[in-house]
Amino acid sequence: MIPAKSQRRQLSFIKNKLKPGVKIITHSGISGTVILVFNKTLIVEQKDGLKVEILRLSVKALNE
């Protein structure tokens, strides 16, 4: 389990790196490439070409 301060720092780092072209993984396991970034949501394109809108808060990690 990650201490709260470290977890907040990691989430802040991830939020600052969200821009078109970045590959991400969500808490629910969805992975894809960021296409568009809005204030509270992202448009993510999956491998099969499917585009989905997700909340920025649901991003768990960058998939580099």
Q: What would the mean pLDDT of 29-50 be, rounded to a whole number? A: 95
Whole-number average pLDDT of the chain: 88
Please state the domain extents for the chain.
4-62
Which pLDDT score is estimated for 12?
77
In CATH terms, 4-62 corresponds, of 2.30.30.140, 1.10.1040.10, 3.30.465.10, 3.30.360.10, to: 2.30.30.140
SS3 38: coil
**Reported confidence tier of residue 11, pLDDT bands at 50, 70, 90:** confident
For residue 35, pLDDT over 90 is answered with yes
For residue 7, pLDDT over 80 is answered with no
**Reported confidence tier of residue 38, pLDDT bands at 50, 70, 90:** very high
- Residue 42, judged by CB atoms within 10 A of its CB (0-12, 13-18, 19+), counts as buried
